[in-house]
A = this chain, B = another copy of it.
Amino acid sequence: MQHVKALVFDVFGTVVDWRTSIAREAGAFFAKRYRAVDAEAFADAWRKRYQPAMEEVRSGRRPFTRLDVLHRENLELVLADFGIDPKREGEAALDALNRAWHRLDPWPDTVAGLARLKTKFFIAPLSNGNIALLANMGKHAGLPWDAILGAEVARAYKPQPEAYLRTAEVLAMRPEEVALIAAHNNDLAAAREAGLSTGFVARPVEHGAAQTTDLRAEQAWDVVADSFTDLATKLGCA
């Protein structure tokens, strides 16, 4: 990691705990309107439609479409799956719930870790989230990013190589000078393939207590840590 100048972060799951945050907001939405639902199951179902929606863009079947739009379309589908007619909710209520993705809470070590990492590295998200989503989230959660690089900048979705390479390009750095920090081995594998440096931070309850994936580093990533504060220590940040 000696030559690394910038740390770029996967966001959903690595920086923020999307599942707890979405479940909380979805639970409140349902409680007001209908009945108790399994809010975590709803969060999981909404998230499950994330990759297939982006795959339409990655494959070229659909032009680049920002994540806010994909989330909103998926919300209507998942509400229908839960037996609710989205048309009865009204645009304003659906938009407000969709913006829950702008209000995700950080993991407990995130803000303290980023503040230390920022003293030595340029720090920015490298997320499939769009700029407005990431910027609002940064303001909500107090994430001290040096820049917000939303997916509109690369106009490509990870794990497409362009997502990693164009990020290095806009930072005016060589790929190896940029390290992706992520809790997902497949994201890191794609980043390494594109020439970036890599760091794994375990997030063993991203998907709840029964999580079976990404519990540990599956390759010899350049750095492996248990938390952002542990990462800061391992990278020599005071």
Q: Which residues of A are at the interface with B, using a C-beta cutoff of 8 A?
A: 68, 122, 124, 130-132, 134-136, 138-139, 146-150, 152-153, 170-172
Contacts and interface: CB of A to CB of B under 8 A. Distances in A.
A132 B170 contact: yes
Given A152-B153, A170-B152, A122 B135 contact: yes
Nearest to A172: B132
A130 B68 contact: no
Contacts of A152: 153, 170
Contacts of A134: 147
A68 B152 CA distance: 20
A130 B171 CA distance: 9
A16 to B, nearest CB: 16
A152 B171 CA distance: 11
Given A122-B139, A139-B122, A146-B139, A153 B171 contact: no
Contacts of A135: 122, 124, 146-147, 171
Contacts of A150: 170
Given A68-B172, A122-B139, A131 B146 contact: no
Contacts of A138: 146-147
A175 to B, nearest CB: 14
A149 to B, nearest CB: 7
Residue among A124, A152, A171 having the largest count of chain B Cβ atoms under 10 Å: A152
Contacts of A130: 170
A73 to B, nearest CB: 15
Nearest to A134: B147
A171 B146 CA distance: 18
A201 B146 CA distance: 25
A138 B170 CA distance: 15
Contacts of A68: 172
A122 B152 CA distance: 19
A171 B122 contact: no
Contacts of A172: 68, 132
A138 B135 CA distance: 15
